[in-house]
Structure 1
Amino acid sequence: MPPIVKNLLKIAAVVIVVVLLFKLHWALGTGVVVVSIGVFVFLNRSALYAQRGNMAYMKGDQAKALELLEKANGFKRVVPQHRIGYGFLLMKAGKPEEAERVFQEIQRLSPPREILMQARINLSTAYWLQGRHSESLALMEEVMGEYKNTLAYGNLGYFKVLNGDLEEALVLNQEAYEFNDNDVTILDNLAQNYYLLGRVEEAADMYAKVMDKSPKHAESYYFYALTLQKLGRLEEAREQSEKAISRDLALVTPLTRADLERLEEQLKQADPDHESRDEGPLAGESSIDRG
């Protein structure tokens, strides 16, 4: 019998019992309902904490999300997906060693294959953040050998680009594009790959597709700005550089805020009208209003 059918039968049985008890006496029915709710809450405390954590993360409160998912992870009945979410937030908080332990523990629990692969993909990111690049790449190669999906293509393709294996990365990223030409990470990997190989026209075409998806992180706009700069499209490059400055860097990145600021300043200096635009009455005062 399918699990969903079993669960529906259990719910139906509980409803029948409650209805019969209410017919006998309202207090009996009320008591059973109260106790059932209490038992449900007690048994599902980890899920409730995890749900609150996910809501906090969606609101941008990463510290609160981590706190709540840490509590969820402390219960024995926590589901593997919530453990993965906890490990991800640990990496975002700059704690890849702790995240590694979480992902290793998930593997020891022998979860379903899809969850196991998600844990291993995240583990490869934890390795990368610790500077263990060869281990990260080796693990992703193992994953790709038995489980090809969009997330795996995206991670391995990006790591190969960051590792400087550009020709090898290109083969993989083109394969990934054939697998899913609608995923922003795959598009971004291929665009950056083309740029780093000096194939700027192809990079520009691919970045145009990336921009259609409004990427979240600064790296996309930064490398698109560099591409446009190479093509002599300086006004467009300045626009993309400004967008890069206004966005956060990704979890795994080759850039710093200083890189973004340096490009912005370089493109400003390349603007023949830059000096005249900075000579307005408030030009000397605007720089202090950055906090």
Structure 2
Amino acid sequence: MNIKKYTNIVVVILSLVIFIAYSKLIAIVLLIGYVVYKSFATIIYYIGSNKYKRNQIDEAYNYFEKAYNINNSPMKIKLYYIYYLLLRGDLDKSDKLLKQLSQNKLTDDDEISIKLNMSIVMWKKNNIDEAVIILMELYEKYKTTIIYQNLGYFLILQNKYDKALEMNLEAYDYNSTNAGILDNLATSYCMLGEYDKSLKIYEELMLEKPTFPSAYYYYASTLLHLNKTEEALQNLNQALKCNFTFLSAISKEEIEAKITEIESSTKLLVK
């Protein structure tokens, strides 16, 4: 029996004894106090989450940090905080906290989450080779959609297109409806010049109504290679309607630059 379960049982038994022998009110107060104590980090986190939704960003991060630092804060709350740090682009702090958490005794899910986030830190620090190494180690132990999704994309960024295609085909067999996996597979085909195959997969992807900008950006790239300029521009403009964060694979500026490039080229051809 672990300590947490043992403590819970002791508190329940103590509350029952007090309830029966002494005071119902004291017993109820004891139980409520214990529940609040056990859930305090979660309560603080959700206060921060509500502030974040209201765009009170700085206040939200203060609450996230407080929730992280509470002694009995659950691992998921700590990982939520690190995720928000990554969204904010605070790579150094994220890296430091992830390394600290990795020293703990971890469940499989915790190990996957921590190493996935470590790989994202490496990617955003322009160390794609280290990011791939981290994910390959995870891939050897676990097979999950998010591992396939991130590894498939990072292999593309590493310019290992044949290897990326092999991985993304395996990922497609694992989960053929995930938007990220479909995007990776279609992009792999595009990078290898197999534009018809890329188009077919992108048509599947668009049925899923992706909400991330890179799907439309890379789809536009395939369409351009097939001389479908108007459709490419439509998808690039659709990409601009998506939400952008520090973790977006494609920036808003890159998409706007691509639109300008296409429109300029089209004007030159007309002349």
Q: What TM bracket, shorter-length normalisation? A: 0.7 to 0.9
* Structure 1: runs of 5 or more not aligned: 276-291
Relative to structure 1, the CA distance from residue 269 to residue 127 in structure 2 (aligned partners, 3 Å threshold; closer, same or farther) is closer
SS in 2 for 1:108: coil
Other-structure match for 1:158: 153
Other-structure match for 1:142: 137
Other-structure match for 1:197: 192
Other-structure match for 1:240: 235
Give the TM-score, by structure 2 length.
0.85
Residues 84 and 102 in structure 1, CA contact (< 8 A), matched pair in contact too: no
Between 1:218-227 and 1:35-44, the stretch displaced more is 35-44
Relative to structure 1, the CA distance from residue 213 to residue 103 in structure 2 (aligned partners, 3 Å threshold; closer, same or farther) is same
Rounded Cα–Cα distance in structure 2 between residues aligned with 1:31 and 1:15? 8
Other-structure match for 2:222: 227
1:103 and 2:98 aligned: yes
Relative to structure 1, the CA distance from residue 53 to residue 213 in structure 2 (aligned partners, 3 Å threshold; closer, same or farther) is farther
Tell me how far 1:242 sits from its aligned partner. 1.1
Question: What is the root-mean-square deviation of aligned Cα atoms in Å?
Answer: 3.1
- State the aligned residue count: 268
Rounded Cα–Cα distance in structure 2 between residues aligned with 1:93 and 1:263? 25
Tell me how far 1:19 sits from its aligned partner. 5.8
Give the TM-score, by structure 1 length.
0.79
Tell me how far 1:67 sits from its aligned partner. 2.7
1:83 and 2:99 aligned: no
Tell me how far 1:59 sits from its aligned partner. 6.0
Relative to structure 1, the CA distance from residue 184 to residue 60 in structure 2 (aligned partners, 3 Å threshold; closer, same or farther) is farther
Tell me how far 1:15 sits from its aligned partner. 7.6
Other-structure match for 1:185: 180
Superposition map of 1:1-291 within 5 A: 20=20, 28-57=23-52, 63-249=58-244, 251-252=246-247, 255-268=250-263
Relative to structure 1, the CA distance from residue 223 to residue 60 in structure 2 (aligned partners, 3 Å threshold; closer, same or farther) is farther
Rounded Cα–Cα distance in structure 1 between residues aligned with 2:52 and 2:152? 27
Rounded Cα–Cα distance in structure 1 between residues aligned with 2:179 and 2:97? 27
Q: Deviations over 1:14-51 (max 9, x none)?
A: 78557646xx7xxx322332343233223321121223
Rounded Cα–Cα distance in structure 2 between residues aligned with 1:227 and 1:34? 64
Residues 15 and 28 in structure 2, CA contact (< 8 A), matched pair in contact too: no
Between 1:37-46 and 1:117-126, the stretch displaced more is 37-46
Between 1:202-211 and 1:54-63, the stretch displaced more is 54-63
Residues 88 and 246 in structure 2, CA contact (< 8 A), matched pair in contact too: no
Q: Which amino acid is 1:117 matched to?
A: I
Between 1:105-114 and 1:243-252, the stretch displaced more is 243-252
Relative to structure 1, the CA distance from residue 56 to residue 215 in structure 2 (aligned partners, 3 Å threshold; closer, same or farther) is farther
Relative to structure 1, the CA distance from residue 7 to residue 209 in structure 2 (aligned partners, 3 Å threshold; closer, same or farther) is farther
Residues 244 and 260 in structure 1, CA contact (< 8 A), matched pair in contact too: yes
Rounded Cα–Cα distance in structure 2 between residues aligned with 1:60 and 1:48? 19
Relative to structure 1, the CA distance from residue 19 to residue 263 in structure 2 (aligned partners, 3 Å threshold; closer, same or farther) is same
Q: Which amino acid is 2:76 matched to?
A: Q
Rounded Cα–Cα distance in structure 1 between residues aligned with 2:54 and 2:189? 35
* Structure 2: runs of 5 or more not aligned: none
Residues 129 and 158 in structure 2, CA contact (< 8 A), matched pair in contact too: no
Other-structure match for 1:279: none
Residues 245 and 260 in structure 1, CA contact (< 8 A), matched pair in contact too: yes
Rounded Cα–Cα distance in structure 2 between residues aligned with 1:14 and 1:136? 50
Q: Which amino acid is 2:256 matched to?
A: E
Q: Which amino acid is 2:260 matched to?
A: E
